[in-house]
């Protein structure tokens, strides 16, 4: 009998993980062997459990999803990670795949797609939900901003997005479980990298580059 595909679920919401488990329980070929609510725990569990596929959210406290992907893939270049996120903007797909993910689907996708994506990645393929990567040319300003944003580290990107959405430094610190001074320092670094001085300018870059909807 063929062994089931072992899966590690990583999402900071217990209810969401429970939904994943119920959804995957219907697939005879897949078994959830471990769960984590933060990236730090996911990195450790990956080493201990060696799952075939990791199903990972991007928006989590702690080191966050992108940094989790980077750390796991730096330790094991053969790691198979499927991002399952609320974000459907192309820039997120690009950053996740660049970090080492093998697939990307959104939480709005049809229920059966999760199992199909896991199966595809487990067999050595790549799975990106239809419509997430658009093959249309982008404006010069968008391309320029995207190249600048690519220079941000995964954690800087998380902070950049939250600041651009209008969250205060205190709120960002609370959201990411970081210290106030740490977030303030990130904010300074981000503004220096993007050559801006205000949050309004960060928001403009986020909208022009497609990271944040108008």
Lowest mean pLDDT among 28-42, 71-85, 138-152: 138-152
Coil, helix or strand for 131?
coil
Give 119-123's long-range contacts (Cβ < 8 A, gap of 24+): 119/5, 119/29, 119/30, 121/53, 121/80, 121/81, 121/82, 122/5, 122/52, 122/53, 122/80
Q: Which single residue is written with the structure tokens 């471990």?
A: 34
The CATH architecture to which 140-208 belongs is Orthogonal Bundle (1.10)
Distance CA 11, CA 6 (A): 17
Task: Mark out the alpha helices in 50-153 (DSSP H runs).
Answer: 64-75, 90-99, 111-122, 140-149
pLDDT in tens, 28-73: 899 999 999 999 999 999 999 999 999 999 988 888 899 999 999 9
Q: How far, rounded to the nearest angstrom, does the alpha carbon of residue 17 sit from its chain's CA centroid?
A: 16
Distance CA 131, CA 153 (A): 26
Cβ neighbors of 37 (< 8 A, separation 6 or more) are 10, 11, 12, 13, 14, 17, 60
Structure tokens at 31: 């078994």
Return the DSSP state at 62: T
Q: What is the pLDDT of residue 159?
A: 92
Q: How far, rounded to the nearest angstrom, does the alpha carbon of residue 142 sit from its chain's CA centroid?
A: 21
Q: What is the pLDDT of residue 213?
A: 63
Lowest mean pLDDT among 85-89, 130-134, 152-156: 130-134
Q: Which fold has domain 5-128?
A: Rossmann fold (3.40.50)
Q: What is the pLDDT of residue 199?
A: 84
* Other C-beta atoms lying within 10 Å of the C-beta of residue 20: 20
Structure tokens at 75: 């330790």
Q: What is the pLDDT of residue 143?
A: 54
- 176 closest CA partner among 200, 156, 199: 156
Average pLDDT over residues 176-188: 92
Structure tokens at 80: 């198979």
Distance CA 52, CA 35 (A): 14
| Domain range list for the chain | 5-128, 140-208
Average pLDDT over residues 117-143: 73
Identical fold for domains 5-128 and 140-208, yes or no, is no
Higher pLDDT, 191 or 140: 191
Structure tokens at 186: 């990130």
pLDDT above 60 (res 138): no
């Amino acid at each position: 009998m063929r062994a089931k595909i072992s899966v590690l679920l990583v999402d900071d919401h217990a209810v969401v993980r429970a939904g994943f488990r119920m959804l995957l329980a219907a697939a005879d070929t897949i078994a959830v062997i471990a769960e984590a609510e933060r990236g730090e725990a996911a990195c450790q569990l990956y080493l201990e459990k060696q799952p075939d596929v990791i199903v990972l959210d991007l928006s989590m406290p702690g080191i966050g999803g992108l940094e989790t992907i980077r750390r796991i893939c730096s330790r094991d270049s053969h790691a198979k990670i499927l991002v399952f996120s609320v974000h459907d903007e192309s820039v997120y797909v690009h950053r996740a795949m660049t970090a080492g993910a093998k697939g990307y689907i959104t939480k709005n996708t049809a229920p059966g797609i999760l199992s199909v994506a896991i199966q595809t990645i487990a067999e050595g393929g790549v799975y990106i939900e239809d419509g997430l990567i658009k093959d249309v040319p982008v404006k010069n300003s968008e391309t320029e901003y995207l190249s600048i944003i690519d220079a941000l580290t995964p954690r800087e990107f998380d902070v950049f997005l939250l600041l651009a959405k209008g969250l205060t430094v205190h709120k960002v610190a609370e959201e990411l479980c970081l210290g106030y001074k740490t977030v303030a320092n990130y904010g300074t670094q981000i503004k220096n990298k993007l050559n801006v001085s205000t949050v309004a300018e960060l928001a403009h870059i986020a909208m022009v580059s497609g990271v944040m909807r108008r």
